[in-house]
Chain A
Amino acid sequence: MNARAELANNFFPFHGGVHPPEHKNESTGTPIVAGPIPKQLVVPLHQSIGNIAKSLVAVGDLVLKGQMIAAADGSVSAAVHAPTSGKVVAVGPQLVPHPSGLLEHCITIESDGEDRWIERNRFDWRNADGRAIRDYLRDMGVVGLGGAVFPSHLKIGGAKEGLDTLVINAAECEPFITCDDMLMRERAVQIVEGIKIVQQLLQARQVLIGVEDNKPEAVDAMRAAIAVCEFPIQVVVVPTLYPSGGAKQLIKLLTNKEVPSGVRSTDLGVQCFNVATIYTIYRAMEHAEPVISRVVTLTGNVERPGNVEALIGTPIDDLLAFAGNKADSDAYIYGGPMMGFEIPGTDVGLSKAGNCIIAKSGALFPPKPVEMPCIRCGKCADACPAELQPMDLYWFGKSKNFGKAQERNLFDCIECGACAYVCPSNIQLVDYFRFSKSEIWSAEKLKKSADQARERHEFRIFREEREKREKAERLAAKAAQKHDAAAASSDPADAERAAKIKAAMERAAAKKVEAAAAQAGADPLTPVDPDAVSVPVSEAVAAPAPEPVVSQLDPEKAERIRLAMEKRAAEKAALDALSPEEKAARDAEKKAKIEAAMAAAAARKAEKAAAQAQQDKSE
């Protein structure tokens, strides 16, 4: 025990970090309380980093608490459940807690106040195989509650020979947030049960719980809970230094391993779970409880700051009312003050990522002073946990030199904001980095979609050509057949004619391909006009087929062909009979038709582009 306690305080500091005012005491004075059951819940369906979950309900459906209302769509997605019983009153786009202010799919449930559970069947995870467990976690909607909402089932399994270290992230380094702290203080035993489950699933050889030293009560509670545990679990107390709760920073602190960007921590034998996620895994595994609530810190400019176990989908309005929002609150931060964002409106529903809501007031968060020029003092580099040179990235971002920024490892930036926090010139460095990243992303997206469009276009041309070629071949084969028949009539003139026809058809086909290629080359975006290229074909086909050949076929077919030919000949005659003016008018009409079609196509294209641009902008 002593040796373990000694070990427990071994940590390996990371570079940089800052220590902003903690503001934790405000919300740790009272135990976690159950949140209100609101009249209406707006449950976002995009509750994981993957695809939006697919809705399983329709307006008017009655749902029970814990009932799956949306199923995971693809492997990086997670299911969504009804947080309480009631009636579905809307399924569709709504404002969600996301900095973009974009509308996203939500299911609105009018609660019936009964909070009636669906029937729950305990899952026998001990006798289930890895795949079943992963599917189960996905269907229970278990995602990382630390804010990243990464589906937990993706982190479980796969490691056959077992995991080196299971890291439990309980650092909670952001100011104001105390939901993990309170959860550990009050539910340490369940958390340890959850750790044991995950340890077993991952076959982890060691478990390290990282807690910042400003949570002594949580440390004590956790230590007491693991004291009776037969498996060695260590609580490592790390100094209070933002961002020690960043997964990479915590892994470095606890294991001295640095996870480079683009490398999964499992490749280094480490897997990291947030402590609240562990708790929900426990609830899911042992109590068949899907993730329908979470502990959220309500703090800042409110009367009764504290932690609330709130139903997912509870409108922020209701939560603020519950905590006693003060009149002079002017905005609300979703998440912590270092990495959170202001929510676009207070009618959005709580998501699984929502660990904290801070009511802002001018007194608590004075407006930021004006940005001054960078004096290259290097304070930002000293503070950067990713060991970047933020002032250089800032310069590259500002001068739109994104390639250079990328070269200098822009994408290693974890957007922790430590640099902006210390900058004496008050430069919002992170904003520049977000901007640079999004510019690079959209450029890449644009390139990708252009590539795709080009590929699609090329494929279509290829397909059309192939189809035409095949048609030509079919026709040629037919003609050859006829030619054989003609040859059978042992008329050398026929044979000669047939050969000529074949040659003409081949020429026509070649010409057609050429024309198509020329057109494609001239303007890759103008669709190939099928009329234009099909003209020679019909001529080629129409020109031959003299009477004698037909006469060799069975009379009925011959008659049909003869009629068709007569009709075509009549058409041709009519055409020939037309005066030049009439011909011109006809051509003009044809041309106008083509032009109209082309204009319509162009309009459609422009419309599409505009829509795309709109979408890009709002992203």
Chain B
Amino acid sequence: MNTSPFFIKPTPLQVVMFKVAAALVPAIVVYAWSFGIGILVQIALATATALATEAFCLKLRGYPIKPFVTDGSAIVTAWLMALSFPPLAPWWMIVVAAALSISLAKHMYGGLGQNTFNPAMVGFAIMIVSFPAQMSRWAAPLGVAPQSMDWSAQLSWIFSGQLPAGLTFDAVASATPLDTVKTQLMQHASMSNIFHEPLFGMIGGVGTEWITAAYLLGGLYLLWQKLIPWQIPVTFLAVLGGMAGIFHLVDPTHYTSPMFHWFSGAAMLGAFFIVTDPVTGPTTPLGRVIFAALIGLLTYLIRVFGGYPDGVAFAVLIMNLAAPFIDQYTQPAVFGRKGKQKNAGAKS
């Protein structure tokens, strides 16, 4: 027999997931526009692998395949992971990463909703730890590289590691803006010189700054759709920017500005799409703020003082571990139980 409520709001999980995916589309378009077709190939590979792995795991675990494969969660994971990969990474890397992220990070923990770690970040982290060289071979934005790769060259490089005669990957590759700043600073280059390199645009990297702006746009859409709580991106960006701001004020020659930190690397992607992953974060209002703040802090520390150019993925994974504890200690007071003085006063 049916039980109340007999009404439910028609906001199926699929709709939520596909809206998240839709919010990524502007950034993907800008990405493909400034870096070429590689990112689309990575997304396609990641999506196909993720869905196949999802179906396989569901079958192994005896779950109904159709409703779960079509829930959109695997697609979102795949896209987020592909967007954090170097767009010209060899094809097998994203395939392995996607397979691992779905099987290891998601289904080994019990499937959708049960995973402790953000699956996309797990896939990314495994690969960057295992294959640091390949994972840091980023293509320069089209128009910046001395010699640019057309779409067939990109495809051939991704799938066979071959390039057209006369072209070497080093000629088309470039470090990311975050990486460049980090390594150049270590070589005692001055900040103004670094920023004079053609790689840099107005506030971040050429192309990169537009992509991150597009993430921001998608994020605003998610906020408008009430799919993510505003406290998370705001806190995360505020802490990241605040840290950058303090260091930048103290020593502008060695520390880049908040704007640079916001619009380079995975800051915007993280703020709106990764730190906001509800499954792996705390659910209490206060807990979310603490969570986002600590990720912002860790991201800055890893970026500036750690061993990796970008810190979002590791910061998120570290904090994923802490999420249950944060939840435990930030339980909000329930209706009628806020503060003893209210009740005591009422009793008199």
A residues with CB within 8 A of B: 14-15, 18, 20-21, 99, 175, 248, 252, 257-261, 263, 267-269, 331, 333, 335-342, 360, 365, 368-370, 372-378, 381, 385-389, 391-392, 408-409, 412, 417, 420-426, 428, 430-431, 434
Contacts and interface: CB of A to CB of B under 8 A. Distances in A.
24 contacts: A175-B7, A248-B336, A258-B335, A259-B336, A260-B335, A261-B336, A336-B4, A340-B4, A341-B4, A372-B13, A372-B67, A372-B112, A373-B112, A373-B114, A374-B113, A376-B278, A378-B278, A387-B332, A389-B331, A408-B331, A422-B11, A424-B11, A426-B8, A430-B3
A375 B73 contact: yes
B8 A423 contact: yes
Contact of A248 (B15, B331, B335, B338): B335
Nearest to A391: B283
Given A20-B5, A370-B64, A372-B112, 10 more contacts: A99-B3, A252-B335, A258-B335, A341-B4, A365-B6, A368-B2, A409-B334, A417-B5, A423-B8, A430-B3
A341 B1 CA distance: 9
Nearest to B276: A377
Contact of B4 (A339, A369, A376): A339
Interface stretch (B176-184, B307-315, B340-348): B340-348
B283 A338 contact: no
A375 B13 contact: yes
A376 B8 contact: no
Contacts of B113: 373-376, 425
Nearest to B228: A377
B252 interface: no
A420 B13 CA distance: 13
A424 B15 contact: yes
Contacts of B278: 375-378
Nearest to A259: B336
Contact of A385 (B333, B335, B342): B335
B324 to A, nearest CB: 10
Contacts of A337: 4-7
4 shortest interchain CB distances as A-B pairs: A260-B336, A417-B5, A373-B113, A258-B336
B117 to A, nearest CB: 14
Contact of A387 (B111, B229, B327, B333): B333
B34 interface: no
A333 B6 contact: yes
B279 A267 contact: no
A374 B71 CA distance: 12
Contacts of B335: 14-15, 248, 252, 258, 260, 385-387, 412
Contact of A420 (B5, B279, B283, B336): B5
A21 B336 CA distance: 28
Given A331-B2, A375-B279, A420 B8 contact: yes
B188 interface: no
B67 A20 contact: no
A259 B16 CA distance: 35
Contacts of B347: 267
Interface string B271-299: 00000001101011000000000000000
B9 to A, nearest CB: 5
B4 A260 contact: no
B166 to A, nearest CB: 50
A267 B337 contact: no
Interface of B: 1-9, 11-13, 15-16, 64, 67-68, 71, 73, 111-114, 229, 278-279, 281, 283-284, 327, 331-338, 342-343, 346-347
A369 B327 CA distance: 30
Contacts of A374: 113
A385 B67 CA distance: 31
Contacts of A269: 346
Contacts of A18: 9
Contacts of B12: 369, 372, 424, 426
B210 to A, nearest CB: 30
Contacts of B16: 375, 377, 424
B225 to A, nearest CB: 12
Contacts of A373: 111-114
A15 B335 CA distance: 8
Nearest to A368: B8
Contact of A412 (B2, B15, B334): B334
Contacts of A375: 13, 16, 73, 112-113, 278-279
A342 B5 contact: no
Nearest to A390: B283
B66 to A, nearest CB: 10
Contacts of A268: 346
B346 to A, nearest CB: 4
B343 A360 contact: no
Contacts of B343: 260, 263
Contact of B337 (A260, A370, A422): A260
B74 to A, nearest CB: 13
A267 B344 CA distance: 10
Nearest to B288: A378
Given A386-B335, A409-B334, A421 B7 contact: yes
A385 B334 CA distance: 9
A261 B338 CA distance: 12
B9, B284, B332, B338, most chain A CB atoms within 10 A: B9
B348 to A, nearest CB: 10
Contact of B9 (A15, A20, A258, A428): A20
Contacts of B15: 424
Contacts of B1: 99, 342
A386 B12 CA distance: 24
Contacts of A341: 3-4
A260, A369, A381, A389, most chain B CB atoms within 10 A: A260
Contacts of A378: 229, 278, 283
Contacts of A257: 346
A159 to B, nearest CB: 14
A261 B335 CA distance: 8
Contacts of A408: 331
A426 B10 CA distance: 9
A381 B283 contact: yes
A342 B334 contact: no
A248 B337 CA distance: 13
Contacts of A392: 283, 327
Contacts of A252: 335
Nearest to B342: A258
Nearest to A265: B346
B346 A20 contact: no
A389 B337 CA distance: 14
A259 B1 CA distance: 33
B336 A263 contact: yes
A238 B141 CA distance: 57
A422 B9 CA distance: 5
Given A337-B4, A409-B337, A389 B283 contact: yes
A153 to B, nearest CB: 24
Nearest to A341: B4
Contacts of B327: 392
B228 to A, nearest CB: 9
Contacts of A387: 332-335
A412 B7 contact: no
